[in-house]
């Protein structure tokens, strides 16, 4: 590495704190191979990769790219279980397993349970109800069984990795105040992408791409939650608070929940396009280096978005149900890939960045 510690990177960074400036010291630690220090440091996660440091660096070191590499190393080193961190971290080689493994799983599961039954067009359905129901192809019980189990594994992995990172951050540091009290403003910063707006030299496509994709997924999750409530509104505990006038599943196209889902889909599509346009701008120092890890994550997100939109649209247009079901099957598989790799992909940045922001609010450090 050609860095001679001129500190230009730390001087031009809009987000670098005066008492613990980055990325100069992280670049130095990386040069010296001080992995333990890097893993237990909050600096890489307070960096939002504006990459103004990349542009200004007189030695063309790419400090922003160094910080991104450190974040990837932290996620891999703290991964639970460790083999998943290595599998996703080595995605340049392992991507066929991560992509086709879930697809094969769904094919085998459906073949063994339903025989891959393709639904037929139902002429009795109204114009706003679609032409058929995917539930006849993949029963809801299978979706719940698979994704509830996957969600449980993801939460356990995130808890274990987050706990390790939080303990590492606290080594030799005096914290004060309430964790919850400091978590709330940190979550507000994450939700509004406030720090991104302070990146004077940052790329707008990157900021708004992240913002729209994040809230698009939140909206899609809320939509799915309401769909489950409406599906089982006659059963306890939903029957305790659901009015009799609540819609049944599938929700009509003109219902507000469906509107929320479609608006979320638009946010995902626009955000995904912005992220893609940002990443193909090869050679732009403000964009930074694009690794196989970055490309894999982006393509999985784009695949989830694209197949999700097509799955919804194909219920209403004159497409053979077998084609619609094939797209739906691909959608289920890439969603499962997204779930299973979440604690080891860039989605894990939400966890580590939030913990680093909370730590900085609570910590008193000696520099």
Asked, as a colleague might, if the bond just before 81 is cis with ω within 30 of 0, I would say: yes
What is the per-residue pLDDT for 1? 60
pLDDT at 198 over 80: no
CA 364 → CA 128, 177, 233, 298, 360, distances in Å?
58, 11, 50, 37, 8
145-169 CB burial, b ≥16 within 10 A, e <16 = ebbeebeebbeebbeebbebbbebb
327 has pLDDT over 80: yes
Percent of the chain with pLDDT over 90: 60
Name 174's bridge partners: 364
pLDDT tens digits, 31-84: 999 999 999 999 999 998 888 899 999 999 999 999 999 999 999 999 999 999
Output the average pLDDT for the chain: 89
Q: Is the pLDDT of residue 337 over 50?
A: yes
Could you read off the pLDDT of 270-293 as tens digits, one per residue? 999 998 888 887 777 878 888 899
C-alpha 210, offset from chain centre? 9
Q: State pLDDT tens for residues 121-173.
A: 887 877 667 788 898 999 989 999 999 999 999 999 999 999 999 999 988 88
What is the Cβ-side half-sphere exposure of residue 57, based on CA atoms within 13 angstroms? 25
**pLDDT attached to residue 323:** 95
CA distances from 203 to 50, 87, 174, 222, 305 (A): 7, 30, 36, 29, 23
Q: What predicted TM-score, i.e. pTM, was given to this entire model?
A: 0.89
**Most confident listed range (113-117, 154-158, 175-179, 191-195):** 154-158
């Amino acid at each position: 590495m050609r860095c001679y510690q001129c500190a230009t990177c730390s001087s031009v960074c809009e987000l670098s704190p005066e008492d613990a400036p980055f990325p100069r010291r992280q670049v130095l630690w990386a040069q010296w191979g001080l992995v333990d220090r890097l893993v237990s440091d909050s600096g890489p996660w307070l960096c939002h990769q504006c990459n103004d440091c990349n542009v200004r660096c007189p030695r063309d070191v790419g400090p922003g790219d160094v910080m991104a590499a450190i974040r990837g190393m932290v996620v891999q080193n703290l991964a639970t279980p460790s083999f998943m961190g290595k599998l996703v971290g080595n995605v340049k080689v392992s991507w066929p397993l991560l992509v086709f493994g879930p697809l094969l799983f769904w094919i085998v599961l459906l073949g063994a349970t339903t025989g891959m039954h393709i639904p037929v067009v139902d002429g009795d359905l109204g114009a706003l109800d679609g032409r058929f129901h995917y539930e006849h192809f993949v029963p809801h019980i299978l979706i719940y069984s698979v994704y509830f189990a996957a969600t449980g594994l993801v939460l356990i992995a995130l808890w274990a990795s987050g706990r390790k990172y939080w303990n590492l951050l606290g080594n030799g540091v005096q914290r004060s105040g309430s964790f919850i009290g400091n978590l709330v403003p940190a979550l507000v910063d994450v939700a509004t992408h406030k720090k991104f707006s302070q990146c004077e030299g940052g790329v707008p496509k990157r900021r708004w791409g992240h913002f729209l994709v994040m809230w698009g997924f939140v909206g899609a999750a809320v939509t799915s939650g309401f769909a489950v409530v409406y599906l089982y509104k006659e059963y306890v505990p939903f029957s305790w608070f659901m009015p009799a006038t609540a819609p049944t599943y599938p929700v009509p196209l003109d219902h507000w929940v469906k509107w929320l889902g479609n608006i979320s889909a638009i946010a995902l599509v626009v955000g995904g396009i912005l992220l893609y346009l940002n990443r193909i701008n090869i050679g732009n120092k403000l964009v930074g280096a694009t690794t196989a890890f970055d490309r894999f994550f982006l393509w999985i997100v784009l695949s989830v978005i694209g197949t999700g939109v097509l799955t919804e649209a194909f219920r209403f247009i004159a497409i053979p149900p077998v084609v619609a079901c094939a797209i739906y099957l691909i959608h289920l598989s890439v969603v499962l890939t997204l779930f299973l790799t979440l604690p080891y992909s860039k989605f894990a940045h939400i966890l580590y960045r939030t913990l680093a922001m909370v730590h900085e609010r609570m910590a008193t450090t000696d520099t």
